[in-house]
Structure 1
Amino acid sequence: MSLSLNQKTINRASLAEAVDACARAGIEAIGVWREPLADVGVERGAKLVRDAGLRVSSLCRGGFFTAADRAANRDDNRRAVDEAAALGTDTLVLVVGGLPTGSRDLAGARGRVAEGVAELAMYAGDAGVRLALEPMHPIYCADRGVLSTLDQALELAAAFPVEQVGVAVDTFHVWWDPRVLAAIARAGDRIAAYQVCDWILPLPPDTLLARGLPGDGYIDFRTLGAAVSDAGYRGDVEVEVFHADVWAAPFDDVVAEVVRRYREHVAP
């Protein structure tokens, strides 16, 4: 398990700037987001990463299976799989989607997610890419993720071969769950990605931007990290922070602080 910088942590950076910042800091892996990748094109993006000597720990993101236009959603998710394969990563993180506009049918939304994963799983597996279902904190259930616990994600993943569908363990989303340690142990080789950031208070008005750097809040990274390691995960550990102040700071300053916080609070 080694440090990866999720690109969202320096959100204003282009892919080239993020890659350069990682290389200067000695970080060997980067979690890429599709929007900045689209700005440069997949072929050039892959070359930027490769020429810098980095690996791509994951591509964010696919999913949103509850979108109104199912055909467009299917096509976009297949493009996301193709992009992941072109970048040389075997992990596509899925934010599965919230309730459809105007709906209160939570069970129906979860059914739509299961259908979407089933449509995509074989395509992804054939491309050498694993879908990483990311359970999200319940505050995001309505708009982003109707899978709220790691157990829910594992129940869905269990219907598919392990090389097709796994789970993403994100400390921000799972730390509160009284069953999380048992769920991590149960996950075993289904763990496709491990992402870390802290739960901070007070929560900002936009709760999407509520993620702090490790050490700023309340999460016990040592216990969660040990559980992930004991489950057999040996991949990269992405630091993924959504916070206005972090995003506003100079890239190299943020990356240096990420390295320091990782060593102090997260590293095995």
Structure 2
Amino acid sequence: MNRYSLNQATTKYWPLEDVVAASNKAGLYWIGLWREPIQEYGVERAAKLVADAGLRVSSLCRGGFFTATDEAERRMKIEDNRRAIDEAATLGTDVLVLVSGGLPAGSRDLDGARAMVRDGLAELAPYAGERGVRLAVEALHPMFCSDRCVVSSLGGALDLAEQFPATQVGVIVDAYHLWWDADVYRQIERAGERICSYQVSDWIVPLPVDNLLGRGMMGDGSIELRRLREACDAAGYAGPVEVEIFNQDLWDAPGQEVFDLALRRYLEHVA
């Protein structure tokens, strides 16, 4: 229980005050936050709300989206990532989750897009280190490569991260995006101290029309969630385990109901 963290994206329409109150009542230590609702609520106000409840922020999601069609767009994205680093520091978390971005509009240059991600990390890593924040590169399932994330494997994420100090750049192990990879356990061992978070949900079939919302509640799908958690533990990771689920049916359900179900399923299938 001292590692469990509900990422607020799992209960998207539930007010932050309610998520925090439920987490406090359940005796939890952690909560995962997203930039857009936190910006709307107020970053400093959210930091106080969480701290007053005795919670800590396991991660802030998300920065990244480094790929761009021109230099002006690239500079805009770099500056937005600087703001994200500042927001993470204000919230008291040392993990800023990065989704790299897909191919720039009209481009088929995958190598060039990945070079943009590397260059973005190179520009931001020292600043993040000064603020006590690690840039956590998240690999997404290959089905998102064209439009959301040109980093499609944990090995690819580590190839980027290892070009920088481990105190500045790490990786996310997200079960939903990585479970299919025959090399994932070797790559988790390789990741070691660079693991910034282990995130859980489940792979359900059939996927919905909007595959972005295809994550299921733990235990409803195909992923060996406990085995992946044990691999992260063996690699030296002892930090929070975040439940992060994008699923319209769960978003439409009462927040407390989803909160209770997620905690129960975590204990059954992950802990």
**Which bin holds the TM-score, normalised by the shorter protein?**
over 0.9
**Match for 1:114: what amino acid?**
R
**Match for 1:198: what amino acid?**
D
CA distance, structure 2, for counterparts of residue 122 and residue 15 of structure 1: 31
Aligned-residue sequence identity (percent) comes to: 60
- 1:53-101, CA deviations, whole angstroms, 9 ceiling, x for partnerless residues? 1100000000000134011101100000000001110000001100111
Query: Which among 190, 214, 220 is matched to residue 218 of structure 2?
Result: 214
Match of 2:136 in 1: 132
Tell me, yes or no, if the aligned pair for 1:21 and 1:251 is still in contact at 8 Å.
no
CA distance, structure 1, for counterparts of residue 105 and residue 261 of structure 2: 39
Match of 2:103 in 1: 99
2:182 matches 1:181: no
* 1:24-43 equivalences in 2 (<5 Å): 24-43=25-44
2:11 matches 1:10: yes
1:41 to partner: Cα distance: 1.2
Match of 1:20 in 2: 21
CA distance, structure 2, for counterparts of residue 131 and residue 95 of structure 1: 10
**Match for 1:219: what amino acid?**
I
2:152 matches 1:148: yes
Q: How many residues align?
A: 267
Query: Which among 169, 176, 183 is matched to residue 172 of structure 1?
Result: 176
- 1:135-194, CA deviations, whole angstroms, 9 ceiling, x for partnerless residues? 010010011110000000001111100000000000000000000000000000000111
**Match for 2:112: what amino acid?**
G
Q: CA RMSD in A?
A: 0.9
**Match for 1:126: what amino acid?**
E
CA distance, structure 2, for counterparts of residue 149 and residue 201 of structure 1: 21
**Match for 1:17: what amino acid?**
D
Query: Which among 229, 250, 253 is matched to residue 249 of structure 1?
Result: 253
Counterpart of 2:171 in 1: which secondary structure?
strand
Match of 1:230 in 2: 234
**Match for 1:24: what amino acid?**
K
CA distance, structure 2, for counterparts of residue 248 and residue 21 of structure 1: 18
2:61 matches 1:57: no
1:110 to partner: Cα distance: 0.5
CA distance, structure 1, for counterparts of residue 267 and residue 68 of structure 2: 39
Tell me, yes or no, if the aligned pair for 1:14 and 1:36 is still in contact at 8 Å.
no
CA distance, structure 2, for counterparts of residue 138 and residue 226 of structure 1: 24
**TM-score, structure 1 as length reference:** 0.98
Moved more, 216-225 or 10-19: 10-19
The runs of 5 or more residues in structure 1 that have no matched partner are none
CA distance, structure 2, for counterparts of residue 191 and residue 14 of structure 1: 30
Match of 1:190 in 2: 194
Moved more, 66-75 or 141-150: 66-75
2:158 matches 1:157: no
**Match for 1:142: what amino acid?**
S
Counterpart of 2:221 in 1: which secondary structure?
coil
**Match for 2:233: what amino acid?**
S
**Match for 1:11: what amino acid?**
K
Tell me, yes or no, if the aligned pair for 1:25 and 1:256 is still in contact at 8 Å.
no
CA distance, structure 2, for counterparts of residue 70 and residue 146 of structure 1: 16
